[in-house]
Amino acid sequence: MKNILVTGGAGFIGSNFIHYLLKRYDDINIVNIDLLTYAGNLDNLVEVSDDKRYTFVRGDIHDRALVEELFQKYEFDTVVNFAAESHVDRSITDPDIFLITNVLGTQTLLDVAKKHWKLDPDDKYSREFKEGVKYLQVSTDEVYGALGATGLFTEKTPLAPNSPYSASKASADFVVRAYAQTYGMPVNITRCSNNYGPYQFPEKLIPLMINNCLAEKNLPVYGDGMQIRDWLYVEDHCAAITTVLEKGVLGEVYNVGGNNEKANIEIVKLIIDNTGKTEDLIVHVKDRPGHDRRYAIDNTKITTELGWAPAYTFETGMAQTIEWYLSHKEWMDKIVSGEYMSYYEKMYK
Ligand code: NAD
Ligand code: DAU
């Protein structure tokens, strides 16, 4: 892991991952390709923008000529694909772009990487790749669908995605699998549960509720608010991805989660308490169509086989997260104008 192509690095998890690597590895070169959609934000990376180990390129992962040019110039040995349309609610109203970016974008990256990494790219029967190269697909627990009151997602749980977003991510996982099976491509897939932490776009539950508390706006809880997610602090996800890059067995899928199941309403109340507001702000709004009731990850494989474990408890992670948003008001204020306001009006009207 020396020359890394990080895609979608101006988004929430990608930018945290770039900070994570630059803090820990001296001998590394990172190229971040990001289209800077509404979710991409270079403010997330201002502290590293002059770092010699880091280069930003604005572009689309589905632009083959650009990806090809970057591979030729930088000779990547590692690709970590974060780039995606990531918000379930947006996928319900505008699914097309989810299929284009999440599925076709992934296939473009895989195809260009295959061409550059295969020892004999013209021999269709050859399965030999350069030493030490790896493509890592950042996937999600949502590909497994929804759980009832009990049970956990393991890597063997059949894929049963329920939203256009999760269907696009599951499709991408199948494309990654096909490149491993058909061509012998060195890949891993990670499937993580819900992340929280700094730099998360405030269309997602936690930053949206923090921002609305600070602005004394209503807190829109979908349905009864008893849907359960398994929350993980973003730095723990970054550590898990790094562990899989370094130790993951080629071709394997690793679930990532912190055994932290919480109902949405519990989270909203915790944010209310920590921002000194009252529960009068809570408004139960119409539920998300096809809303998955519960997600929960069995992380036995990555913890026992690769030795990864979350470092943050939910309490320490949430305290740090709320403190970060309180002390970065200007970061939030810049986002919650323009496009965000029209999205918000349309979504919660
Ligand atoms: P995000 O929406 O915050 O960031 C996505 C980034 O991808 C943005 O910077 C955006 O500009 C960029 N992008 C979008 N389309 C692009 C394209 N065609 N070419 C290049 N860049 C493009 O998303 P996130 O929450 O940081 O999620 C990152 C990845 O992790 C996604 O693949 C998501 O499916 C996965 N994931 C997210 C979570 C979570 O809780 N947020 C959990 C598990 C997995
Ligand atoms: O599980 C991993 C997934 O987590 C990732 O793959 C996705 O990219 C990421 O967006 C996230 O998906 P969710 O749909 O779980 O996250 P979101 O923050 O949108 O919603 C979390 C829960 O909170 C969900 O049950 C819906 C609910 N919710 C969300 C919003 C934005 C509300 O009740 N009100 C809201 O306003």
pLDDT (tens digit, 0 to 9) for every residue of the chain, 349 residues total? 799 999 999 999 999 999 999 999 999 999 999 999 999 999 999 999 999 999 999 999 999 999 999 999 999 999 999 999 999 999 999 999 999 999 999 999 999 999 999 999 999 999 999 999 999 999 999 999 999 999 999 999 999 999 999 999 999 999 999 999 999 999 999 999 999 999 999 999 999 999 999 999 999 999 999 999 999 999 999 999 999 999 999 999 999 999 999 999 999 999 999 999 999 999 999 999 999 999 999 999 999 999 999 999 999 999 999 999 999 999 999 999 878 888 898 899 8
Asked, for residue 328, whether it belongs to a domain, the answer is no
pLDDT at 299: 98
pLDDT at 185: 98
pLDDT at 1: 72
* CB 146 near ligand 2, within 6 Å: no
For residue 88, what are the domain limits? Answer: 3-197+231-262+293-317
Q: Residues near 346 by Cβ (< 8 Å), separated by ≥ 6?
A: none
Of all ligands present, the nearest one to the C-alpha of 62 is 1
pLDDT at 341: 85
- What CATH number did the domain enclosing 299 receive? 3.40.50.720
77, 85, 142, 292: which one is catalytic? 142
pLDDT at 338: 76
Structural domains of the chain, count: 1
**pTM flag (> 0.95):** yes
* Type of residue numbered 199: Y
Among 88, 266, 283, 295, which is best to mutate for testing ligand 2, by the most ligand atoms less than 8 A from CB?
88
* CB 194 near ligand 2, within 6 Å: yes
Asked, for residue 348, whether it belongs to a domain, the answer is no
pLDDT at 337: 84
Residue 248 and residue 212 in contact, taking contact as beta carbons nearer than 8 Å: no
Structure tokens at 193: 């549960």
Asked, for residue 249, whether it belongs to a domain, the answer is yes
Nearest Cα to Cα of residue 80 among 61, 59, 64, 53: 61
CB atoms within 10 A of CB 32: 26
Q: Residues near 200 by Cβ (< 8 Å), separated by ≥ 6?
A: 12, 206, 207, 234
Q: Give dist(CA 323, CA 329) in Å, integer.
A: 10
Burial of 216 (0-12, 13-18, 19+ CB in 10 A): exposed
Asked, for residue 79, whether it belongs to a domain, the answer is yes
Of all ligands present, the nearest one to the C-alpha of 16 is 1
